[in-house]
């Protein structure tokens, strides 16, 4: 079986390259990472996705070098992620931070045992909830764009004031958290410039879920060949889902073209990013 995986993995090389190039050139990209096991070694499975493609990539580490391998050293579009430092090589003007993660961070301040932290954290939670409600109201047509922008501007001003208070008054642990959010302020509000930019990174987390279940139900991989197969087959399957295609039919078409030496089957959505073969 391992031998067949190796052969199919080699056949999937152009597919994986095309998917990766499409994601890197997209206007909006979501990225995330999770643990990955190869033998007894702890590694990482990275993921980046666009509207039409999902690219998985395994790496030894979780640092910037791995992120650059996946995303490229420069982006044309906007990257949606959590606050993880591995993405900081991307210009802040091209970043949107996940508000779901931010909400959890400020909720921890509100739930702190220190009475000084609690009112500041509670106010930040209320403001984060207001951001979500305002966005949902706008998406449902309950707010005009002018109302939407005006409410968010007021919310942003209040948010900064509370973070500034927290940066001075909170306990040491949460002072640092408030200071980091202030530093990253520009990356929190990028979505105001483009309605296509999501408030959260839920898309990437959902796309990773299938791999996480696979990882939990198996013994991981034990070789470079198995690792390579896993990242490539996952990329094909998840991209097929986004394109509304049958992954089995796509895979059969790839294998058939390689065996019969006919034209390689690239979906229309990936053609502009197709690598030379």
252 part of a folded domain: yes
Nearest C-alpha neighbor of 277 from the set 29, 16, 39, 37: 16
Overall pTM > 0.75: yes
Domain around 168: 99-193
241 part of a folded domain: yes
168 part of a folded domain: yes
Q: Which two tokens stand for residue 76?
A: 């044309």
DSSP 25-49: T-SEEEEEEEEEEETTEEEEEEEEE
* Residue 104, helix vs strand vs coil: helix
Domain boundary among 193, 216, 244: 193
Do 179 and 230 lie in a common domain? no
- Rounded distance between C-alpha atoms, residue 27 and residue 50, angstroms: 8
Q: Which two tokens stand for residue 80?
A: 């949606």
Model confidence over 98-148: pLDDT tens digits?
999 999 999 999 999 999 999 999 999 999 999 999 999 999 999 999 999
Model confidence over 3-59: pLDDT tens digits?
678 899 999 999 999 999 999 999 999 999 998 888 778 899 999 999 999 999 999
Adjacent-strand bridge partners of 56:
47
Do 137 and 11 lie in a common domain? no
Q: Which residue has the tokens 């959902």?
A: 206
Do 173 and 223 lie in a common domain? no
**Total domains, the chain:** 2
Q: Which two tokens stand for residue 100?
A: 């779901």
């Amino acid at each position: 079986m391992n031998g067949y995986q190796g052969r199919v993995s080699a056949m999937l090389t152009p597919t994986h390259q095309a998917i990766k190039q499409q994601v890197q050139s997209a206007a909006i990209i979501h990225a995330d990472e999770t643990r990955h096991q190869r033998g007894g070694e702890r590694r990482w499975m990275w993921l980046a996705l666009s509207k039409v493609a999902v690219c998985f990539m395994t790496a030894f580490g979780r640092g910037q070098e791995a992120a650059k391998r996946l995303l490229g050293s420069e982006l044309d579009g906007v990257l949606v992620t959590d606050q993880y430092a591995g993405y900081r090589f991307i210009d802040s003007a091209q970043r949107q931070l996940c508000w779901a993660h931010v909400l959890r961070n400020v909720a921890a301040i509100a739930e702190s045992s220190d009475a000084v932290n609690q009112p500041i954290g509670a106010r930040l939670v209320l403001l984060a909830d207001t951001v979500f409600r305002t966005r949902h109201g706008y998406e449902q047509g309950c707010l005009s764009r002018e109302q939407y922008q005006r409410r968010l501007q007021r919310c942003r001003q209040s948010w900064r004031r509370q973070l500034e208070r927290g940066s001075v008054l909170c306990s040491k642990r949460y002072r640092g958290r408030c200071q980091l959010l202030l530093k990253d302020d520009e990356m929190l509000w990028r979505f105001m410039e483009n309605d296509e930019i999501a408030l959260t990174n839920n898309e990437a987390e959902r796309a990773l879920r299938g791999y996480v279940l696979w990882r939990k139900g198996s013994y991981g991989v034990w070789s470079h060949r198995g690792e390579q197969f896993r990242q490539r087959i996952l990329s094909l399957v998840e991209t097929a889902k986004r394109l509304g295609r049958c992954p089995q039919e796509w895979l059969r078409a790839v294998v058939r073209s390689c065996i019969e030496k006919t034209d390689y089957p690239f979906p229309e959505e990936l053609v502009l990013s197709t690598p030379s073969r």
